[in-house]
Amino acid sequence: MTLSQQGRLRMEALITLGRLDDAGPWWSRAAPVELPPEPECLLAPPEAPGGIAVPLMGVLEVRIHPGHLGFGLGDGRRDGVIGSWQRLADGSDWDPVSLLVALYAVPPVTYNLDLPGWMPTIQLSAYIRRLPAPGPLRVRLAATDVGGDRIDQSAQVWDAKDRLIAQSTQLAAVRVPAA
């Protein structure tokens, strides 16, 4: 699939589809991200710093671990991890297509590293592993390596039954301060 704008290729996607079920894994090392209860996590606002509207936050309810919000509160850890609870704002259950949004709907992990700003995606691979159970999702977004004006990060999503149901790997551009 391709997306063109004004005669120029802007995006190219390769999609492989298969049949999903809701069975748990035969074996997994992936432990769900540890989060405080939902009410203790901070609701992501519909506007980014500077008053820039983030329409996606009207579709999702994202509650971020307060200890991962050093960028918004002036303190917190700077470990390259942002964990959150996510629900669809209209109360509907998650499906395979909406899980693609969950993989991408957390503030950029660079914010946790004091590198706020635009982080354009260069490449994104997403994997939907199984059908989600009804209820909220837990999402962990973690940076692996930052350098050369690039960052790679991974996202993992667990459903209400604590099963890893989706994951992604992303390579993006980032502005790293001069040494």
Q: Using one digit for the tens of pLDDT, what is the confidence trace for 155-170?
A: 999 999 999 999 999 9
Q: How confident is the model at residue 17 (pLDDT cuts 50, 70, 90)?
A: confident
The pLDDT value given to residue 47: 78
Does residue 147 form part of some domain? yes
More confident residue, 135 or 15: 135
Q: Summarize pLDDT for 73-94 with one digit per residue, the tens.
A: 556 567 899 999 999 999 999 9
Does residue 15 have a pLDDT over 70? yes
Does residue 153 form part of some domain? yes
Amino acid residing at 160: A
Does residue 12 form part of some domain? no
Q: Over the chain, what is the mean pLDDT?
A: 90
Q: How confident is the model at residue 72 (pLDDT cuts 50, 70, 90)?
A: low
Our count of domains for the chain comes to: 1
To the nearest whole percent, how much of the chain has pLDDT over 90?
A: 63
How much is the average pLDDT of 108-120?
83
Does residue 11 form part of some domain? no
Nearest to 107 by CA among 93, 86, 123, 125: 86
The pLDDT value given to residue 73: 58
Does residue 116 have a pLDDT over 70? yes
How much is the average pLDDT of 52-62?
85
The CATH number given to whatever domain includes residue 112 is 2.40.160.210
How much is the average pLDDT of 15-26?
90
DSSP state for residue 126 in the 8-state scheme: E
Cβ neighbours of residue 70 closer than 8 Å, sequence gap 6 or more = 76, 77, 78, 112, 114
The pLDDT value given to residue 70: 66
Does residue 153 have a pLDDT over 90? yes
- Domain range for 63 is 39-173
171/111 Cα distance (integer angstroms): 16
Does residue 46 have a pLDDT over 90? no
Nearest to 85 by CA among 126, 57, 46, 43: 43
Query: 107 vs 1, 161, 166, CA distance in Å?
Result: 27, 25, 18
Does residue 71 have a pLDDT over 70? no
- Exposure on the CB side of residue 149, measured as CA atoms within 13 A: 6
Does residue 20 form part of some domain? no
Does residue 124 form part of some domain? yes
